[in-house]
């Protein structure tokens, strides 16, 4: 069997299926370890009262899967043939066959593409308030975006931060009225509309200290001091090779057909590639477990 993705979902599916003697091959992909590999301390994964670094957590999962015989292959899935079995996947130019498939390829955070953004990820730049909000007690943070995620993150961050500035590139918001009203009613949230970010500082200090902003109407630029910079401009599910083959919604997320099932018998989903709501390490791990159990039952029913 093949598992696509090496984040929490893929690694948990690998632990379960390897332990069931199914010899899973895990395709590692272009973001090894998934979203956890770009976070710092994870304080909400049960079992680690002191917290654990994201990259360590995901590496431990991989080791655990390898202990039971899972194999890892670095490569990108370029094409998928799922209309007949065995399923066929083209990975870095080479075709691989599999009796069952778990798609755990995740969703990548959309970034602004600022010169310093990637250099400060995990050092003040974040795409997940639930993951990193608690590091900003009594500090100033900024949230970028005008959708529901931005509103939700801004509100959530006011539990910790002394001030949350929400920066949006237009006057009007994409967010639903109820979410927008909630953020507007929160005295700790300050709005900066018609404003874009030109860059985030300070790479030389290895942490976020300020953000360079620009008003799109007046052209005025200025630096605003903040300690945390949360980008909430959406996610992109990694489902490119499955377009037209697996049921996807209008944004490219896999549509669940109950449990971990996709519309194709024998093809299962796990984690953020299907989940646009919870997006947590623990929910992805749980989804990986569900997909593994369903894949195992599928193979058993097929007599393998």
Catalytic residue list:
128, 131-132
Nearer to ligand NDP, 237 or 241 (CB): 237
Report how far residue 239's alpha carbon sits from residue 4's, in angstroms, rounded to the nearest whole number. Answer: 11
Contact between 146 and ligand NDP by CB under 6 A: the answer reads yes
Q: Which stretch binds ligand NDP (CB under 6 A): 78-86, 123-131, 168-176, 222-230?
A: 168-176
Q: For residues 199 and 142, give the distance between their C-alpha atoms in angstroms, rounded to a whole number.
A: 13
CA distance 217 to 73: 49
Residue ranges in 209-228 that form contacts with ligand NDP under rule CB under 6 A: none
Measured from each CB, the residue nearest to ligand NDP is 147
Q: Which residues contact 89 (CB under 8 A, 6 or more apart)?
A: 2, 4, 27, 77, 79, 80, 81, 95, 96, 98, 101, 241
The nearest distance, CB 112 to ligand NDP, in angstroms, is: 5
Preceding omega of 202 cis (within 30 degrees of 0): yes
Tell me the three state secondary structure of residue 299: helix
33 lies in the site for ligand NDP, by CB under 6 A:
no
- Min. distance of Cβ 113 from ligand NDP in angstroms? 7
192 binds ligand NDP (CB under 6 A): no
Near ligand NDP by CB under 6 A: residue from 174, 182, 212, 214: 174
DSSP bridge partners of 302: none
The correct pick among 7, 10, 145, 266 for binding ligand NDP (CB under 6 A) is 145
CB of 128 to ligand NDP, least distance (A): 11
What's the closest the beta carbon of residue 171 comes to ligand NDP, in angstroms?
A: 10
148 binds ligand NDP (CB under 6 A): yes
CA angle 131, 226, 203 (to 5 degrees): 85
Best CA proximity match to 199, nearest among 111, 133, 77, 274: 111
Cis peptide before 86 (omega within 30 of 0): yes
140 counts as binding ligand NDP under rule CB under 6 A = no
Q: Of these, 276, 286, 289, 299, which contacts ligand NDP (CB under 6 A)?
A: 276
CB 82 within 8 A of CB 245: yes
Least CB distance to ligand NDP at residue 56 (A): 28
In terms of CB distance, is 233 or 295 closer to ligand NDP? 233
Q: Quote the least distance from Cβ 298 to ligand NDP, whole Å.
A: 30
Sheet with strand 77-81: strands edge to edge: 77-81, 87-91, 94-98
Kindly tell me which of 73 and 112 has the beta carbon lying closer to ligand NDP. 112
Are the beta carbons of 18 and 71 closer than 8 angstroms? no
Which of 149, 165, 195, 262 binds ligand NDP (CB under 6 A)? It is 149
DSSP 94-132: EEEEESSEEE---EEEP----TTTGGGBTTTEES-HHHH
Interaction of residue 96 with ligand NDP, rule CB under 6 A: no
Residues that bind ligand NDP in the complex, under the rule CB under 6 A: 112, 144-150, 152, 169-170, 174, 233-234, 276
């Amino acid at each position: 069997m093949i598992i696509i993705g090496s984040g929490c979902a893929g690694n948990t599916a690998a632990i379960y299926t390897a332990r069931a003697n199914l010899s899973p091959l895990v395709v590692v992909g272009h973001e090894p370890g998934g979203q956890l590999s770009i976070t710092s301390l994870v304080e909400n994964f049960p079992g680690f009262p002191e917290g654990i670094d994201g990259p360590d957590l995901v590496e431990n999962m991989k080791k655990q899967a390898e202990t039971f015989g899972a194999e890892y292959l670095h490569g990108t899935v370029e094409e998928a043939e799922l209309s007949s079995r065995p399923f066929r996947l083209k990975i870095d130019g080479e075709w691989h066959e599999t009796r069952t498939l778990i798609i755990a390829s995740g969703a990548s955070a959309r970034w602004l593409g600022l010169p310093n953004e990637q250099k400060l990820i995990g050092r003040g730049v974040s795409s997940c308030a639930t993951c990193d909000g608690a590091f900003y007690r009594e500090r100033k943070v900024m949230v970028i975006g005008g959708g529901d995620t931005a509103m939700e993150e801004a509100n959530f961050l006011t539990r910790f931060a002394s001030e949350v500035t929400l920066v949006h590139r237009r006057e009007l918001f994409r967010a639903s009225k109820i979410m927008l009203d909630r953020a507007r009613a929160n005295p700790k949230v300050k709005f900066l509309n018609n404003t874009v970010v030109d860059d985030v500082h300070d790479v030389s200090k290895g942490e976020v200290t300020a953000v360079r902003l620009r008003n799109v109407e007046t052209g005025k630029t200025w630096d605003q001091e903040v300690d945390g910079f949360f980008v909430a401009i959406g996610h992109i599910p990694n489902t490119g090779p499955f377009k037209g083959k697996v049921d996807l919604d209008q944004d490219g997320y896999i549509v669940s057909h109950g449990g971990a099932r996709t519309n194709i018998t024998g093809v299962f989903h796990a984690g953020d590639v299907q989940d646009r709501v919870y997006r947590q390490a623990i929910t992805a791990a749980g989804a990986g477990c569900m997909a593994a159990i369903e894949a195992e039952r599928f193979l058993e029913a097929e007599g393998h």
